[in-house]
Chain A
Amino acid sequence: MSSSEAMAPVRLIAHAEDESTRIEVFDGNLNVVPGSSRLGETTVDVLPGVYAVRFQIGADYVQRIAILAPQSPETHIWLNDADAPRFATSAPVRHTKSTREFHREPAQRLSLSPPLPGLGGMLGESHLLVFARDLIEGRHNDPAQGLTLHDMKGELVADFGAVGERNPVDRWAGAHLALAAGVYRLRLSRGSRRFTEQIIYLAKGWQTQIFLLAGGVGDSDLDRRVNLASASVLMAKPYEGFNPERPDLRWAESALRALRQSGNIPGSVRSEMLWEKFQNPMLGIYAGLLHLRRDHIDPGLLRQVFHNLMGLVGPLPDVLAIGWGLALRDQNIKKDALFMQALDRPGDLATPPMLCASWELLVEASVLRPELVPAGSFAERASTRLTAAGPWFSWSGELPPPRDEPEPAPEPSLPGVWGKLVPPGVVEALTMGTLGFALPYLANLLARMPMAGYFLYSSRFTDVERRVAQYVYPLVDQQLRTLVEGDEALTAEVIEGMKGRGTDEAGLVKSLKVPAGAALRAVWGLVRKLLLQPVVPHRLMLPGFVTEEAHRNKILESILKALQEQSTTLRHKRGGEPVNALAFLLLRYRGSPAESSESVPTATSLAQLLYENEYVIGEEANAPGTAALDSILAGMRAQVLAELEEQVAKQKIEFAPGWQAQVLPDPTAYKAGALLPAPIEQQAGMTGSSS
């Protein structure tokens, strides 16, 4: 045998019965063999020698040694469940680190006991088992304290700190309820106003089982609560209940762990096929989502997973996400009208999926179908409050109410001056839902509006609008702008680095984790609030005002235009240029473009609007009260009056007697075109001095 034959690579295949086990092969120096890291199964071709095969679940692993002799046939290393690493799970499933006999027994018994009704008193056709437990001996508080179930309106359905059974000695509390099939919010409260929620789906004819472990080692007994992030969610037929001996439950638990890290990629397809045998929809969902992480998917298999899940539990958002994930990866599926029709159910996506991995697929799909997640829906609003909760889609606190925001103009272009401000193509893009076209325009708009960075932080702008603005044009952030100020090279680097980013719609929705429809509405909101309906009129709005108020007289026009270069004491609290005098007049007499009222605003309503949008008076940053606004107007009136008197004295212009009272009149008596008195030639219909 030649030395080259002796050192020819040989094949090593490692398998784990639990498909979600991460397998890595280590060489003789205990370095990972490149490309060996896979879930469930891995195959490597390596030189003969001694290798360590590591099977890891969570933080724990077991190791096997593979001795690969020269010219040996394929060597298989197996790990069965009995030898697998014991990982901790919230469900007291067999062969896990956190299982306890004194938790397994009551959980199983409760799951098979007659269910209780919810607060309404009606027994529904779906079952819910909630079982909270604490592993630390010596804890005395109720592990279910602060845990409640609510309907989608927020009404309390069950308080798990009060219903069901509990055993303080063994540190568990559980309840088995029969509720109407549908969507619920599982809430964990920490104090009177702080809470975290996640979504729960109860399917007709199924028992949804939620297991939770108390966390917070080191906390006092009073503060010790369950941890939603590590919740286990399982489903079973009610007559089967919770059976901790079922091997598929352990697989479901480890698949759920695998979903927490994007680098976990399955190595074989056994579990995708096995899940159905056990009629375990949650394992089917986990396996489907994990399968979509592969470089090469099996469309036929995923299609079957999708259809079977639809048959078992219906169009839950997580099931639809798998369908959309398949459509995103396989062009042939997109051409399948029937399959796509089955996916096109925005009504079912008004509530979010249970898993973050599902949400990421739906967000990606929304680039193709911006209306996929309905505007203002619970799902969309919850996505703006996403919080850390392991693999679960979870949010904190009350969601913002649906905003009554105007939709983009339905016309393909805006009339008059607006048409010049917003090109027709952009309006069309905003109307037709094409983010890719609208984003570069927004980036350009933000680049030309240095004040935008100050405005964005007022309550008028939504979180999504702020995040979209920062994504497409990072320099809108005043902190970043300050950092690079005066450094041309660095500014150029930032701008260069942004190139291409503004047009990357998929990148935007993935990064922000908001649906494309919401991102598009945010773009429209930004365009509308910054450009079309700003709180204080911007410079582009002023020429029209001058034209309307100057009576076509050069002198009046000149006096008004000069006001544009004069600052008032009104300014934005966060910085930027003060409001110019002409913009102030337009604001005071015609009202804020942000408010659609046709009538002249009262000083009180204007002061309130300015206050809400963080405008202040002077360096002292006083609130913009009515007296302050009146004082600014009075000063301007005196100034304009003096200028006109000078022009009258020089006989450059002539007014009818009593004209002084018509200079910047009392706003309550103002009508458009009557900001200044009309010159006499004008009154006689002469236009000789007009420009």
Chain B
Amino acid sequence: MPAPQLKDYALVVGINKYADEGFLEALNGPKNDVQHFVDWLESPAGGNVILCLLVSDDLGKTPKSGDIVEAVKKLLVLSQGGEVRIGRRLYIFLAGHGVGPDLDDAGLLTAEATEDAPTYVEGRRYANLFRGRAVFDEVVLIMDCCRDFDGELPDSVFPFKRKVDAGGAHKVKHFYAYATGFGKAAREKDFGAEVHGIFSHVLIDGLKGGAVDGEGRITGPSLERYVKKQVKKLLPPGTDQVPDIRCDPDLVFADGFPPATVSATVEATVPHDKLVVLYGDGFKPVETAPQNLGGGKFQIQLRIGKTYVFQLLDAGGAILKQDGRAIEDADEVTHVKL
């Protein structure tokens, strides 16, 4: 079971219903997505999280931009003007209708948005507010919304100064994940019991254990790989939604899981004395020995999320044949013919 985390904070916003229904019709997924995410946050894997939750009311009146700004203000106050570290990790989870204000950001349309005044909050700006001030060790931004571009968009609501702790900001690890690429739509899907955003559904599944890597960890890159592959599997045929994820490679969401492994088979086609399997940069030996199945066939259990080289050696240790593989997923079938 993963070890409990240190103190984290989460700003979680889900907007199903909007005041101007002629402009933005009601969604079915965001509140469910938020609930699933909160369930994970409050589970032992999620850790010790102080949560600020903003979800739609029945009239579609809230949450407004101002509510989100207020929540951020309250959080910022804890840093005492940027002088004090607030916590280990900040999660910002935003789900609802969205816009694409530029190539690198997504904007969550807030409840009061109308066609003439489409109020929105840019997730990355808010995430960078905390990242720039280095008041968390890690900042995680998750946005499940469309990223349609509209040249007439006004500036987003952002009443904060961009203070940067030049020495500390670059040390803050980040994981910024958008449900889709710039200018593209994000989709919901009926998963039987409930409707969810496909992206949120997959991402939360990944956090719950689906994205465990070969070290028994869920890292930024392992989650990215998992989300991209699984979203693709769940999309209706012909649709295009590729999650846009930018992250530091050493951000670890959770640790202590059993390492995810796959069973690889190796088929030797030339006489040899030994089969060697090495991995990664530096050619490190794997910890399990190949099991000889007879007839030149071997089986070996390998951790996922790594690159491998399979070598047939002669008695003097010279390489007779070799081939490489990158094993990304637990459901991959790896067969190497040498």
Query: What is A's interface to B at a CB cutoff of 8 Å?
Result: 7, 26-32, 46-52, 58-59, 63, 65-67, 88, 135-136, 217-218, 229, 260-263, 383-388, 390, 395, 457, 463, 466-467, 470-471, 474, 477, 479-480, 482-484, 487, 490, 493-494, 496-497, 513
Contacts and interface: CB of A to CB of B under 8 A. Distances in A.
Contacts of B238: 135-136, 217
6 contacts: A29-B305, A49-B280, A52-B326, A260-B182, A261-B181, A474-B159
A67 B305 contact: no
Interface stretch (B45-53, B144-152, B200-208): B144-152
Given A217-B239, A388-B183, A484-B159, A52 B150 contact: no
A52 B281 contact: no
Given A28-B282, A479-B157, A497-B160, 20 more contacts: A27-B307, A28-B279, A28-B280, A30-B328, A47-B281, A49-B307, A58-B242, A218-B236, A261-B182, A262-B104, A388-B148, A388-B149, A457-B116, A466-B154, A483-B66, A483-B159, A493-B160, A497-B161, A497-B162, A513-B151
Interface stretch (B10-18, B28-36, B317-325): B317-325
B242 A59 contact: yes
A653 to B, nearest CB: 52
B253 interface: no
Nearest to A229: B183
B151 A386 contact: yes
A384 B183 CA distance: 18
Contacts of B117: 479
A439 B66 CA distance: 28
- Indicate the member of B160, B239, B282 with the most A CB atoms within 10 Å: B282
Contacts of A261: 103, 181-182
Contacts of B155: 470-471, 474, 477
A67 B322 contact: yes
A26 B307 contact: yes
A295 B182 CA distance: 23
Given A50-B279, A59-B232, A483-B69, A28 B306 contact: yes
Contacts of A482: 66
Nearest to B284: A28
A67 B309 contact: yes
Interface string B131-157: 000000000000000001111101101
A126 B19 CA distance: 51
A283 B211 CA distance: 40
B283 interface: yes
B225 interface: yes
State the main secondary structure of chain B at its contact with A: loop
A164 B157 CA distance: 50
Interface residues of B, number: 53
B176 interface: no
B290 interface: no
Nearest to B154: A470
A483 B237 contact: no
Contacts of B282: 7, 28, 47-49
A490 B73 contact: yes
Contact of B151 (A29, A88, A385, A484): A385
Given A66-B324, A67-B322, A386-B151, A30 B279 contact: no
Contacts of A513: 151
A672 to B, nearest CB: 40
Interface in B65-106: 65-66, 69, 73, 100, 103-104
B152 A384 contact: yes
B305 A30 contact: yes
Nearest to B183: A388
A86 B66 CA distance: 46
Contacts of B328: 30
Contacts of A457: 116
B278 to A, nearest CB: 7
State the main secondary structure of chain A at its contact with B: mixed
B160 A28 contact: no
Nearest to A135: B238
Nearest to B281: A49
Interface string B152-186: 10110101111000000000000000000111000
A401 to B, nearest CB: 17
Which 10 interchain pairs have the tightest Cβ spacing?
A: A28-B280, A386-B151, A65-B324, A49-B281, A31-B249, A388-B149, A493-B161, A52-B326, A50-B307, A497-B161
B306 A29 contact: yes
A28 B281 contact: yes
Interface string B287-321: 00000000000000000011111000000000000
B221 interface: yes
Contacts of B116: 457
Nearest to A383: B151
Contacts of A385: 151-152
Nearest to B151: A386
Contacts of B221: 29-31
B261 interface: no
A482 B66 CA distance: 9
Interface in B231-247: 232, 236-240, 242
Contacts of B305: 29-30
Contacts of B56: none
Given A483-B65, A490-B159, A32 B148 contact: no
Contacts of A262: 103-104
B261 to A, nearest CB: 15
A65 B240 contact: no
A393 to B, nearest CB: 10
B265 interface: no
A479 B154 CA distance: 12
Nearest to A263: B103
A75 to B, nearest CB: 12
B62 interface: no
A458 B65 CA distance: 23
Contact of B281 (A27, A217, A383, A470): A27
A691 B218 CA distance: 83
B324 A50 contact: yes
B323 A65 contact: yes
Given A28-B306, A30-B306, A136-B238, A50 B278 contact: yes
A7 B236 CA distance: 47
A386 B307 CA distance: 45
A623 B163 CA distance: 47
B69 A63 contact: no
Nearest to A46: B281
A48 B281 contact: yes
Contacts of A471: 155
A26 B326 contact: yes
B66 A51 contact: no
Contacts of B161: 493-494, 496-497
B81 to A, nearest CB: 9
A586 to B, nearest CB: 32
B280 A479 contact: no
Given A483-B65, A483-B69, A59 B240 contact: yes
A467 B162 CA distance: 21
A31 B309 CA distance: 17
Contact of A387 (B69, B149, B159, B284): B149
Contacts of B182: 260-261
Contacts of B181: 261
Given A29-B249, A387-B151, A388-B149, A480 B157 contact: yes
Contacts of B232: 59
Contacts of A49: 280-283, 307
A494 B249 contact: no
Interface in B208-256: 221, 225, 232, 236-240, 242, 249
Nearest to B248: A31
Contact of B183 (A46, A218, A390, A487): A390
Contacts of B148: 388
Contacts of A65: 307, 309, 323-326
Nearest to A494: B159
- Indicate the member of B149, B237, B322, B328 with the most A CB atoms within 10 Å: B149
